[in-house]
């Protein structure tokens, strides 16, 4: 569950996402920038419970929705790209954010679902 200081799913941004994790004493490691050719913006990679999570913050909700609409339901095709994932992809979206997690760690999935609800694609 989100702490009192966390942003709601309606208005969460990158800074609010990190604040909500820190409010629950979750360890976060900044891993630098990430560039996915199928998204219009560069993302930031964070380590969450030892796993790699990619966070893409768009200038507005409409641009995030446009890129999210390109992701197939199973997360295996994005526009014309067919990425080769090393595990199951999970795509989350709220407001201006798209979050991509590739893996099965239950702690990571619970943390993301608590902030964004169920994935809109993948899983």
**Reported pTM:** 0.89
Please give the angle made by the CA atoms of 15, 67 and 31, to the nearest 5 degrees: 40
**Banded pLDDT at 26 (limits 50, 70, 90):** confident
Neighbour count for residue 90 (Cβ, 10 Å)? 24
The 10s digit of each residue's pLDDT in 58-94 is 999 999 999 999 999 999 999 999 999 999 999 999 9
What is the mean predicted confidence (pLDDT) over 32-37? 95
- At 20, phi and psi to the nearest 5? -65, -35
The 10s digit of each residue's pLDDT in 91-113 is 999 999 999 999 999 999 999 99
């Amino acid at each position: 569950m989100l702490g009192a200081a966390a942003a709601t799913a309606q208005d969460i941004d990158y800074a609010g996402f990190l604040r909500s994790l820190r409010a629950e004493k979750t360890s976060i490691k900044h891993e630098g920038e990430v560039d996915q050719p199928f998204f219009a913006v560069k993302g930031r990679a964070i380590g969450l419970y030892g796993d790699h999570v990619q966070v893409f913050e768009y200038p507005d909700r409409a641009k995030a929705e446009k890129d999210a609409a390109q992701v197939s339901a199973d997360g295996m095709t994005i526009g014309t790209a067919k990425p080769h994932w090393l595990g199951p992809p999970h795509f989350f979206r709220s407001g201006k954010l798209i979050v991509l997690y590739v893996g099965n760690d239950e702690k990571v999935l619970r943390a993301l679902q608590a902030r964004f609800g169920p994935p809109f694609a993948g899983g």
